[in-house]
Amino acid sequence: MTKTVQVLLARRPQGDVTADCFKRVEVDLAAPAEGQVLIRSRYLSLDPYMRPRMTETRSYTPPFELGKPLTGGVIGEIVASANPKFSAGDTVIGMLDWASHTLHDGKGLRKIDPAIAPLPAWLGTLGMPGFTAWYGMNRLCKPKAGETVFVSAATGAVGQIAGQLAKLAGARVVGCAGDDAKCNFAVRELGYDACFNHRLERDYGAMLDRLCPKGIDADFENVGGKIFHAVFARLSDFARVAFCGAISEYQDKEPMAGPPKMFAIVQRRLSIQGFIISDHLPLMGEFASEVGALVRAGKLKSRETVIDGLDNAPQAFMGLLKGENFGKLVVKVA
């Protein structure tokens, strides 16, 4: 028997996520049955997509179940194995419970080499957020030298990589982030040409007119809402939008209206493509070799916020939805 701590979904949020949406329990896990492995969690990834999964609305993934552990990207260590593909001591990544230990059938579990990169990087630059940034920027935004690219949530897990990829393509890159320290980091460390603090700025349109005087040729959209409305009105002819997320709308009780003058899509011949990165898994190898090479060459920087302890995961997740993380948010479980 192994005692595990789990974090369950106790209540579906109405509006903002609150602490009573989560419940901590301790459960005894049996030894792995045939085909199973027992995994000790090391790092848990906290991601914005978890918020829509807490409600029952129709989406591309089923909602989390009430009274069951939340799940997420986890890096862990196999502590016992009754599955011939895995041995005790292997480091693995997969969709596991928010828990100290998980019994798992091994499906979708992938071995990783901890010598290649620090463990949190496998949940950030080299993991799902990096893959999302690479696909959205290089395959959908397709920036060219001299073009202007806009990235919202510019220093987040996805945004920080997306912005640097646009710079590597020779574009002028403008972003927005939620405080001055993040904006300074975007310009000084990530190489953005400009970044504005969207929490201080009231008139997004005037700010974008100043920072993107020739219009916006490609938008990597992470935030949605009023920031996207202002960007949409400034898209150039033949502009591309990689619609990655709309975090400013995830906690809205009522759906937000889209931007006015949608006929602009026709007039300006816009391409607006929503995407879910899990639809593009066959490209994972290409992503890993391209982005891995950039990381090894020191051409991609990244920043993480590491929160200590599974018990602090709910608070950290609530903070993510308010911009309290700086870069990729992970929880160090053990």
121 binds ligand NAP (CB under 6 A): no
Residue nearest to ligand NAP (CB): 156
Query: Binding ligand NAP by CB under 6 A: which of 42, 53, 101, 182?
Result: 182
Interacting residues of 229 by C-beta distance below 8 A, sequence separation 6+: 204, 258, 259, 260
User: Considering only residues 275-294, where is the footprint of ligand NAP by CB under 6 A?
Assistant: 275-277
> Least distance in Å: CB of 234 to ligand NAP?
18
Q: What kind and span of H or E run contains 308? A: strand 304-308
97 binds ligand NAP (CB under 6 A): no
Cα–chain center distance at 118: 18
Tell me which stretch binds ligand NAP (CB under 6 A): 1-9, 139-147, 164-172, 245-253: 245-253
156 binds ligand NAP (CB under 6 A): yes
x/- mask, ligand NAP, residues 203-242, rule CB under 6 A, reads -------------------xx-------------------
Tell me which stretch binds ligand NAP (CB under 6 A): 6-14, 26-34, 95-103, 270-278: 270-278
Interacting residues of 56 by C-beta distance below 8 A, sequence separation 6+: 12, 63
Tokens at 252, concatenated:
């809205």
Residues 169, 156: Cα–Cα separation, whole Å = 20
> Least distance in Å: CB of 45 to ligand NAP?
9
x/- mask, ligand NAP, residues 308-327, rule CB under 6 A, reads ------------xxxx-x--
Residues 106, 134: Cα–Cα separation, whole Å = 27
x/- mask, ligand NAP, residues 48-77, rule CB under 6 A, reads xx----------------------------
245 binds ligand NAP (CB under 6 A): yes
User: Considering only residues 132-151, where is the footprint of ligand NAP by CB under 6 A?
Assistant: 132
User: Considering only residues 184-203, where is the footprint of ligand NAP by CB under 6 A?
Assistant: 198
177 binds ligand NAP (CB under 6 A): yes
Query: Binding ligand NAP by CB under 6 A: which of 247, 300, 310, 318?
Result: 247
> Least distance in Å: CB of 287 to ligand NAP?
13
Tell me which stretch binds ligand NAP (CB under 6 A): 23-31, 95-103, 109-117, 176-184: 176-184
Beta bridge partners of 25: 6
Interacting residues of 20 by C-beta distance below 8 A, sequence separation 6+: 10, 11
Q: What kind and span of H or E run contains 92? A: strand 91-97
SS (H, E, C) 173-228: EEEEECCHHHHHHHHHCCCCCEEEECCCCCCHHHHHHHHCCCCEEEEEECCCHHHH
Interacting residues of 107 by C-beta distance below 8 A, sequence separation 6+: none
Q: Tell me whether residue 3 or residue 322 sits nearer to ligand NAP (CB atom).
A: 322
Tell me which stretch binds ligand NAP (CB under 6 A): 19-27, 75-83, 174-182, 295-303: 174-182
Burial class of residue 57 in the structure, from the number of CB atoms within 10 Å of its CB (0-12 exposed, 13-18 middle, 19+ buried): exposed
CB atoms near residue 289 (< 10 Å):
10
Interacting residues of 324 by C-beta distance below 8 A, sequence separation 6+: 316
Q: Contact positions toward ligand NAP, by CB under 6 A?
A: 47-49, 129, 132, 153, 155-159, 177-178, 182, 198, 222-223, 244-248, 275-277, 320-323, 325, 328-329
